[in-house]
Chains A and B, each alone.
Chain A
Amino acid sequence: MTSLSAAPATTRRRISTQVWRGCTYLALALLMAPAAWLLINVVAKAWPHWQWSVLWTQLTPTGGGLRDQILGTLILMLGVFIIAGTIGVFAGIHLAEFARPRRFSGRVSGPLRTASDVLSGFPSIVLGYVGYVALVVGLGWKLSLLPALIILSIMVIPYIAKNTETSLRQVPTGYREGAEALGMSAGYGLRKVVLKSALPGIVTGLLLALAIACGETAPLIYTAGFSNTLPHSLTGSQFPYLTYMVFTGFNSPEVQYHYLAYDAALILVVIVMLLLVASRIVVSRTQRHSESSRASGVGRRWRRRRPDQDEPLLGVAGAPPR
């Protein structure tokens, strides 16, 4: 009587569950293994030949260091931060606050947002080519810093705008209503209340955009060129940066350049890691900020946030139970 016909099916189902779980773990492992190998490989190849003097000596045809390349990458990041940061943040504010898509019945959100999204998926080499044809040759700027900055900025503006827009939309509706109820003008409330509470998200977007900017090679080769030393002008002379060193150094006839390629790769990875860790720290500060907002009664948007972002409730007096 116990031999119900379901028994073999149960075994099959138990096995299928185990197989499925095994597959998900396998997928995770297949993803993690190359990532770990990549990071370890870069460190392991760079470390045996690492000399700290790489950081402060100039590149020469037979070796030397990467001082000017590091400075060049930092200058590119700073320039992108200024140009793309300003434009991207303003664009994001506009998209989130003023460009509510009423005309399009909420479905399609207007050609401007579409253009921004399409640009964020635009191939970087094509932008580099356009920069070469229009700025380097067309305007006669030659391979130099300015065209590279403009092209890199165009590349990352959509990322910054998107991030700014998203973090502005996550500001609880109650904040805006509160600002209005206190008699703040719309612009003042935007600056003092809404932007202030969205600031961590905006900064995260900026840091990620900087990570993209420092790792780009393709759009720079035909806009910045490459040189061993830093030039003194915005246009007219070629500009050094780290990624080119990685791209060409590894198969250069000069053995010293092989080491320098790995050194440059290691420095790039360290810069990216620092930016990501910084953005993580900023995000964790957002969490703290958001928790206090949760206690004070919040809008619909807040509830749709990711659960892993609003888990800890420690230290918030009177937080409502979930």
Chain B
Amino acid sequence: MATVGGVAGNVPATPHSESFGKPPPWKRAANFARRNEEKGWRSVGWVAVLLPLAALIFAITVLAVKASPVIGHNGSYFLYGRTWTYGNQGYGGGPGARFGAWAIIWGTIASSVIAIVIALPLSIGAAFALTERMPTWISRPLGFTIEILAGIPSVVIGLWGILAFAPWLATNVYPHIANVMPDVPVLRYFRSPTGTGEGLLSAGIVLALMIVPIITSTTRDLFSQVPPLPKEGASALGMTDWEVANKVTLPWVRSGIIGATVLGLGRALGETIAIAMIGGAALRIPSTIYLPFTTIAATILTQLDGQLANPQGVSTLAELALVLAVISVAVNLVARWIVNRTGRVGAPLGGA
């Protein structure tokens, strides 16, 4: 008889007592818990993972509800208008209130674009220097310094920016740029007046400093994932360092860098405190790149305080927040789409 051993073990040796052979209740409870532990992890995790989605929906809903009374009233002027006033009664609000946020939206986009234009080449160059040209004992402490830069609170960067960095730029850098710039359409924007340092370019540079760590650390990781053989092969074919970088390494990690850049862009769009300190908080499009401006985030921060008693002002700021939320969500989704398009980070884009 081919009896399976396990079956015989289930037959109680002495069938007189019901509980004989069964483990005591506390052990049964422990066994039950052990068998069902996975369900516990699964359900608790399910609740936890729903929270970000719930928070996101909640935030957008709150903004939309709060902004709904004024969206119709402000109309499309909100998106292209250039006059931003709370009305005749000053900050209390009242008749004559007119909300055209174009200068604010423009400032948000312009400062972020400046930040990316500065940060991207710096990050890629620095990542190359760190991974390709330096021994570990130098690159590791330098990398750690960049990580520290990522962790420095933005308010501390703002403090340094407004009291040390921006004045230095205004006296030692901007006048020289302004002097050499010719009076032609785009470059005219770089001519004087150069202001006091509080303004668009200073804010853009400081923003760049804040997103450089994000892009550099991602780029560094990506570069070190590129297998050495293609690079060595390219060198063996007689390519220069620049050609190896441009034709082998960069195409290999392009999608990852684009993803990291767009994430940095998202951070730049939402940065508040540093811009509020360095931007100068002027509700207009500056006439040169050095002059004060404002962003959506900085406007909400500096103006909500004065409008707490004015429902129209609070609602209009909600509409502004909604615009910022939509921009940043769109930027994030685009970043994800770019990264997902190639399946995984580190694969060459378009099979290059």
* B-binding residues in A (CB < 8 A): 13-14, 16-17, 19-21, 23-28, 30-32, 34-39, 41-42, 45, 86-91, 93-95, 97-99, 106-108, 111-112, 114-119, 121-127, 129-130, 132-134, 154, 157-158, 161, 185-188, 190-191, 208, 211-212, 214-218, 221-222, 243, 246-247, 250, 261-262, 265, 268-269, 272-273, 275-276, 280, 304, 306-308, 311
Interface pairs (9), CB distance under 8 Å? A24-B128, A27-B125, A38-B149, A89-B48, A107-B343, A119-B52, A247-B277, A276-B148, A306-B221
Tell me if B187 counts as interface (CB < 8 A to partner A): no
Assuming the A-B contacts A112-B50, A129-B321, A130-B63, are A208 and B151 also in contact, with contact meaning beta carbons closer than 8 angstroms in the complex?
Answer: yes
Specify which of A20, A27, A129 is in contact with B245 (CB 8 Å cutoff).
A20
Other than A21-B241, A119-B56, give 6 A-B pairs with Cβ distance below 8 A.
A27-B128, A98-B45, A126-B325, A187-B39, A211-B151, A212-B151
Kindly name the residue among A24, A34, A45, A132 whose own CB sees the greatest number of chain B CB atoms within 10 A. A24
Contact B300 A125 (CB under 8 A): yes
Specify which of B49, B123, B155, B314 is in contact with A215 (CB 8 Å cutoff).
B155
B129 contacts which chain A residues (CB < 8 A)? Answer: 24-25, 27-28
Assuming the A-B contacts A161-B49, A188-B34, are A32 and B156 also in contact, with contact meaning beta carbons closer than 8 angstroms in the complex?
Answer: no
A280 and B62 CA atoms in complex are apart in Å by 39
Q: Which of B21-29, B79-87, B250-258, B264-272 contacts A (4 or more CB under 8 A)?
A: B264-272
Q: What is the CB-to-nearest-CB distance from A75 to chain B, in angstroms, rounded to a whole number?
A: 17
Contact B153 A306 (CB under 8 A): no
Say what secondary structure dominates the interface of chain A: helix
Assuming the A-B contacts A129-B318, A130-B62, A130-B63, are A272 and B151 also in contact, with contact meaning beta carbons closer than 8 angstroms in the complex?
Answer: yes
Contact B152 A215 (CB under 8 A): yes
A124 and B130 CA atoms in complex are apart in Å by 32
Kindly name the residue among A89, A118, A129, A276 whose own CB sees the greatest number of chain B CB atoms within 10 A. A129
A123 and B314 CA atoms in complex are apart in Å by 18
Specify which of B40, B51, B269, B304 is in contact with A157 (CB 8 Å cutoff).
B51
Contact B162 A250 (CB under 8 A): yes
- A-B pairs, top 4 by smallest CB distance, nearest first, are A27-B125, A215-B153, A94-B45, A187-B37
Specify which of A30, A129, A246 is in contact with B304 (CB 8 Å cutoff).
A129
Assuming the A-B contacts A268-B153, A304-B225, are A118 and B340 also in contact, with contact meaning beta carbons closer than 8 angstroms in the complex?
Answer: no
A253 and B171 CA atoms in complex are apart in Å by 25
Contact A265 B154 (CB under 8 A): no
The size bracket of the interface on B is: 35 or more
Q: What is the CB-to-nearest-CB distance from B22 to chain A, in angstroms, rounded to a whole number?
A: 20
Tell me if B1 counts as interface (CB < 8 A to partner A): no
Contact B37 A191 (CB under 8 A): yes
B165 contacts which chain A residues (CB < 8 A)? Answer: 34, 37-38
Contact A121 B331 (CB under 8 A): yes
Assuming the A-B contacts A16-B240, A27-B125, A115-B56, are A42 and B333 also in contact, with contact meaning beta carbons closer than 8 angstroms in the complex?
Answer: no
Contact A35 B164 (CB under 8 A): no
A191 contacts which chain B residues (CB < 8 A)? Answer: 37, 41
Q: Which of B8-16, B138-146, B188-196 contacts A (4 or more CB under 8 A)?
A: B138-146
A34 and B212 CA atoms in complex are apart in Å by 12
Q: What is the CB-to-nearest-CB distance from A137 to chain B, in angstroms, rounded to a whole number?
A: 9
Assuming the A-B contacts A217-B153, A217-B273, are A123 and B37 also in contact, with contact meaning beta carbons closer than 8 angstroms in the complex?
Answer: no
Assuming the A-B contacts A21-B133, A125-B270, A132-B304, are A247 and B51 also in contact, with contact meaning beta carbons closer than 8 angstroms in the complex?
Answer: no
